């Protein structure tokens, strides 16, 4: 992405190629507690993205040299199934999945009450089974719900959503074509109760004005996701979202 293919007309008569308005999210469906073997889990569909998240822990941290005497660590692991993308993806870890795992762990450690579990690890596995752009946001959004489903004490849950730029227009939640051939992509994750930003990346170029516009749009997207996350948990455990 982010070379920006100016030949593609991404927006015609105010609508995007998939029929959405510039500030519209793809459809999102979240279900908590979908896996029997994990302590907590979540299945999320976001447009054509499909992601599972499973949580184990708190458990003793291995390898031991990673243990922290005063807190737990969150060990998040993002992987893509070989059949999740058009060209079969080689199974296993690569640089991209290592990066996404790292930033996800960092973000989740801001909300999990890690100080309650010295020397422990909380394992969060995210498996993308179908990918159509925005999978890091989808995986982090699902991971938060899985952690809450596991009963891990948290200050809040984290929603994540991207905005970007195509055909010189700032849009919410890029789909695969927009991501691959668009001009910029700005994934964001926040802690809604405090407004804290726990993940912010930029691929491509935005002017300061466009950055502000994209940030505001992604922030609003996060707040919409937050409602859907809470509704999924309320649906499983009762109570209002
Ligand atoms: N993608 C792919 N093969 C890969 C990695 C990514 O086909 O090895 C596709 C996939 O659809 C992904 C999209 O490219 O969702 C955008 O990838 P990016 O690195 O921007 O991350 P994402 O937007 O999924 O967080």
**Nearest-CA residue for atom 7 of ligand 1:** 85
DSSP assignment string, 156-203: ----EEEEEEETTEEEES--HHHHHHSSEEEEEEEETTTTEEEEE--E
**Nearest-CA residue for atom 19 of ligand 1:** 96
Give the model's confidence band at 48: pLDDT under 50 very low, under 70 low, under 90 confident, else very high: very high
- Check residue 238 and give its pLDDT: 86
Strand partners, 138: none
Distance CA 32, CA 41 (A): 6
**Nearest-CA residue for atom 20 of ligand 1:** 133
% of the chain exceeding 90 in pLDDT: 94
- Check residue 4 and give its pLDDT: 64
168-206 pLDDT, tens digit per residue, is: 999 999 999 999 999 999 999 999 999 999 999 999 999
- Check residue 6 and give its pLDDT: 61
Q: Take residue 176 and report the two structure tokens written for it.
A: 């695969």
Check whether 159 has a pLDDT greater than 60. yes
Q: Is the CB of 131 under 6 A from ligand 1?
A: yes
**Nearest-CA residue for atom 1 of ligand 1:** 85
Average pLDDT over residues 41-48: 98
Check whether 76 has a pLDDT greater than 80. yes
For residue 109, count CB atoms less than 10 angstroms from its CB and return exposed for 0-12, middle for 13-18, buried for 19 or more: middle
Distance set, CA 107 to CA 5, 12, 209 (Å): 32, 37, 26
- Check residue 241 and give its pLDDT: 65
96-152 pLDDT, tens digit per residue, is: 999 999 999 999 999 999 999 999 999 999 999 999 999 999 999 999 999 999 999
Distance set, CA 235 to CA 25, 91, 145, 161, 241 (Å): 22, 34, 12, 22, 8
Give the model's confidence band at 5: pLDDT under 50 very low, under 70 low, under 90 confident, else very high: low
> CA 232, 238, 241: angle at the middle one, nearest 5?
50
Taking Cα atoms as reference points, which of 19, 18, 22 lies closest to residue 166? 22
Q: Is the CB of 134 under 6 A from ligand 1?
A: yes
Taking Cα atoms as reference points, which of 165, 160, 142, 153 lies closest to residue 232? 142
Q: Take residue 135 and report the two structure tokens written for it.
A: 């999978």
Q: Is the CB of 210 under 6 A from ligand 1?
A: no
What is the topology classification, in CATH, of domain 15-237? Ribosomal Protein S5; domain 2 (3.30.230)
Q: Using the mean position of ligand 1's atoms as its centre, give its distance from the Cα of residue 70 in Å.
A: 36
Which of helix, strand or coil describes residue 99? helix
Task: Give, for ligand 1, the residue of 133, 184, 185 to mutate: max count of ligand atoms closer than 8 Å to Cβ.
Answer: 133
Whether residue 178 contacts residue 123, with contact meaning beta carbons closer than 8 Å, is answered with no
Q: Is the CB of 85 under 6 A from ligand 1?
A: yes
Distance CA 225, CA 232 (A): 11
Q: Is the CB of 50 under 6 A from ligand 1?
A: no
Q: Is the CB of 20 under 6 A from ligand 1?
A: no
For residue 45, count CB atoms less than 10 angstroms from its CB and return exposed for 0-12, middle for 13-18, buried for 19 or more: middle
Give the model's confidence band at 2: pLDDT under 50 very low, under 70 low, under 90 confident, else very high: low
Task: Give, for ligand 1, the residue of 87, 135, 186 to mutate: max count of ligand atoms closer than 8 Å to Cβ.
Answer: 135
**What value does the mean pLDDT of the chain take?**
96
DSSP assignment string, 37-72: SSSEEEEEEETTEEEEEEEEEEEE-SSGGG-BTTB-
Distance set, CA 50 to CA 90, 104, 195, 239 (Å): 18, 17, 27, 27
């Amino acid at each position: 992405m982010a070379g920006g293919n100016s030949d593609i007309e991404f927006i015609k008569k105010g609508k995007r190629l998939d029929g959405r308005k510039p500030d519209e999210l793809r459809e999102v469906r979240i279900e908590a507690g979908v896996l029997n073997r994990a302590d907590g889990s979540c299945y999320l569909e976001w447009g054509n993205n499909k992601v599972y998240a499973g949580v184990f822990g708190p458990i003793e941290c291995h390898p031991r040299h990673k243990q922290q005497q005063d807190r737990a660590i969150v060990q998040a692991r993002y992987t893509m199934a070989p059949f999740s993308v058009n060209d079969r993806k080689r199974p296993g870890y690569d640089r991209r999945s290592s990066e996404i795992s790292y930033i996800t762990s960092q973000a989740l450690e801001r909300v999990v009450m890690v100080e309650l579990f010295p020397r422990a690890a909380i394992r969060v596995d995210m498996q993308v089974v179908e990918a159509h752009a925005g999978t890091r946001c989808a995986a982090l959004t699902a991971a938060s719900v899985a952690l809450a489903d596991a009963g891990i004490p948290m200050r809040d849950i984290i929603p994540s959503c991207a905005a970007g730029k195509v055909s010189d227009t700032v849009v919410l939640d890029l789909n695969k074509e927009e991501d691959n051939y668009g001009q910029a992509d700005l994934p964001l994750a926040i802690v809604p109760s405090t407004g804290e930003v726990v993940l912010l990346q930029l691929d491509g170029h935005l002017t300061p004005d466009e950055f502000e516009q994209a940030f505001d749009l992604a922030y609003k997207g996060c707040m919409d996701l937050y409602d859907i996350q809470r509704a999924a948990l309320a649906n499983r455990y009762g109570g209002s979202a």
